[in-house]
Chains A and B, each alone.
Chain A
Amino acid sequence: MFRQLNHLTVSADGRYARAEELNFLRDYLASVDTRISAYEKIRAEGELMADKIQAKQKAENPHCFHYGQRDHSEICRRDLVDAIRLSASAMLFAELDLMRDNFLLWYRTIVKAFNYETMADSTYGKLLPAMIKQLLTPEEQRVMQPVLALSSSILSK
């Protein structure tokens, strides 16, 4: 949205913006109420969702966060809390490009470096989308779905 909005303000400097150029603003504005309410729900539940996801993963395999000698639950939890917040923000501002370029592609290299792919697949491919779906109304889910799909496509296998 920022990129489009920036582009539009520059265009509208030299000439009037055309009807079709104003449409993306209309579309975004039509969904802002839904985006804000979805954002507020995720804000309230983000930490709890991270805990629940980890609890499920640990129930399946108590050693799933063990790499080498150490348990990395805390670090993984911190990353998951960040990822949830950044996803919510990308949804709020309809800015998937920024989320991909500034976070997901970088985080993917971390996931690969730590051989964390199976866990990432379970988190971003299955558990997080399922939990968000439970949290949101179908209308809110519609604006969140593209962000979840993007995260899943980049972070899971």
Chain B
Amino acid sequence: MLRQLEKLSLEADGRYATAAELQFLKNYLATAEQRISAYEKIRDAQETIIEQVDQQLCSPNPHIFRKGNQDYTAVCQRDRRSVLRLAAAAMLFADLDALRDGFLLWYRTIIKAFKDEKAARVTYQVLPTVVNQVLGAEEAPLMTPVMALTQSILGE
């Protein structure tokens, strides 16, 4: 949204913005209230979400975050918190490109380097369901594309 907005303001410097160009602002406006309330719900429920994901992952496989003698539960929790926060921000600003280019593609290299693909796959399978539980029926669809993007980059 921010990128489109900045582009539009540059265009509108030299000529008037057309009706079609103003449409995206109207579209964003139509969902903005739900975006803000979804963002606030995720913000306020972040610890619950993180814990629930943990429980769902660890009950079938208690050692999922263990490598050799080390337990990486805490590191994975920290990373999951970042993913959730950045995903919520991408939903709020309707800016999936920035999430992909600024975070997900980099984080994918980390996952691969540490051979964490399996844990990542189940994590980002479970996360969307848990997130949806804290959102209302109108808010959940706004988060779906972000979660799908996250899953497609981190979980495959």
Contact = CB atoms under 8 A, between A and B. Distances in A.
Contacts of B13: 86, 89
B22 A39 contact: yes
Interface string B32-49: 110010011001001000
A2 B102 CA distance: 19
Interface string A1-28: 0100110010011011101001001100
A126 B62 CA distance: 75
Interface in B102-128: 102
A13 B86 contact: yes
Interface residues of B, number: 30
A2 B29 contact: no
B58 interface: no
Most chain A CB neighbours (cut-off 10 Å) among B6, B12, B19: B12
Nearest to B29: A32
B146 to A, nearest CB: 14
B88 interface: yes
A25 B5 contact: no
Contacts of B46: 16
Contacts of B6: 2
Given A5-B5, A16-B85, A22 B40 contact: yes
Interface string A69-98: 000000000000000011011001101001
A46 B15 CA distance: 11
A104 B19 CA distance: 26
Nearest to B18: A43
A33 B26 CA distance: 8
Contacts of A29: 29, 32-33
Interface string A41-76: 001001000000000000000000000000000000
Contacts of B92: 12, 17
Given A2-B6, A16-B43, A25 B36 contact: yes
A76 B43 CA distance: 53
Most chain B CB neighbours (cut-off 10 Å) among A6, A43, A46, A88: A43
Contacts of A6: 2
B22 to A, nearest CB: 6
Given A9-B95, A9-B98, A32-B29, 18 more contacts: A2-B9, A5-B2, A5-B93, A9-B89, A16-B46, A16-B88, A17-B89, A17-B92, A26-B36, A36-B25, A36-B26, A40-B19, A40-B22, A43-B17, A88-B16, A89-B9, A92-B12, A98-B9
Among all A-B residue pairs, the 4 with the closest Cβ atoms? A16-B43, A12-B89, A43-B16, A89-B12
